[in-house]
């Protein structure tokens, strides 16, 4: 399965709290670098290689599907994203791990969800002090037509449901 392989090969393994009671699922383009820094490097959470234990208190950050898709496209194509044919990009839809549906990363889990723009609610829930998510990379911004946006929203309907459920 693509998601499971990417979890292992690309460093998106969950993080386990020092007390062993909580775990956080990382999803590409949903603050994973910030979470890695705060939880793993700063607060001592460990990489969790056996995420079959679903009795833990799981959390995850999710992002609005269009914002995440545009950010994922920009990262996938880097500087060449400027010349990307957006109609074709929308037709292809999933280009790499950064545009794989968020729902795929959460299969088999029922985490408490937080919106990326509300990351401070995640920190509060976990009882830690941390700053807001900071976007460090600056990608070329692409604009979508209403039709392109509608196609993305249709394809990522499950992700939008997750986003609407999130705090």
| Domain assignments of the chain as residue spans, ordered by start | 2-165
- The answer to whether residue 78 scores a pLDDT higher than 90 is no
More confident residue, 75 or 3: 75
- The answer to whether residue 53 scores a pLDDT higher than 90 is no
- As a whole number, mean pLDDT of residues 46-51 equals 83
- Contact assessment for residue 70 and residue 138, using Cβ atoms and an 8 Å cutoff: no
- Contact assessment for residue 74 and residue 142, using Cβ atoms and an 8 Å cutoff: yes
- The answer to whether residue 3 scores a pLDDT higher than 60 is no
Q: How confident is the model at residue 89 (pLDDT cuts 50, 70, 90)?
A: very high
φ/ψ of 61, rounded to 5, equals -100, 140
- As a whole number, mean pLDDT of residues 87-99 equals 94
Contacts of 127 (CB under 8 A, 6+ apart): none
Q: What pTM value is reported for the model?
A: 0.89
Q: Which of 63, 149, 76 is nearest to 106 (CA)?
A: 63
Q: How many CA atoms lie within 13 A of 154 on its CB side?
A: 9
H runs (alpha helix) in the chain: 2-9, 32-35, 65-77, 86-92, 102-105, 119-126, 146-155, 157-165
């Amino acid at each position: 399965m693509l998601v499971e392989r990417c979890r292992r090969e690309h460093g998106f393994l969950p993080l386990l709290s020092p007390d062993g009671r909580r775990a956080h699922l990382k999803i590409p383009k949903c603050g994973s670098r910030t979470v890695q820094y705060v939880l793993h490097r700063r607060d001592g959470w460990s990489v969790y290689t056996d995420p079959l234990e679903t009795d833990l208190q799981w959390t995850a950050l999710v992002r609005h599907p269009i914002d995440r898709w545009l950010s994922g496209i920009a990262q996938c194509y880097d500087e060449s994203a400027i010349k990307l044919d957006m109609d074709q990009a929308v037709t292809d839809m999933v280009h790499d791990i950064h545009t794989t549906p968020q729902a795929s990363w959460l299969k088999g889990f029922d985490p408490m969800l937080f919106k990326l723009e509300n990351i401070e609610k995640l920190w509060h829930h976990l009882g830690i002090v941390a700053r807001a998510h900071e976007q460090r990379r600056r990608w070329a911004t692409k604009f979508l037509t209403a039709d392109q946006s509608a196609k993305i929203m249709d394809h990522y309907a499950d992700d939008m449901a997750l986003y609407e459920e999130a705090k």
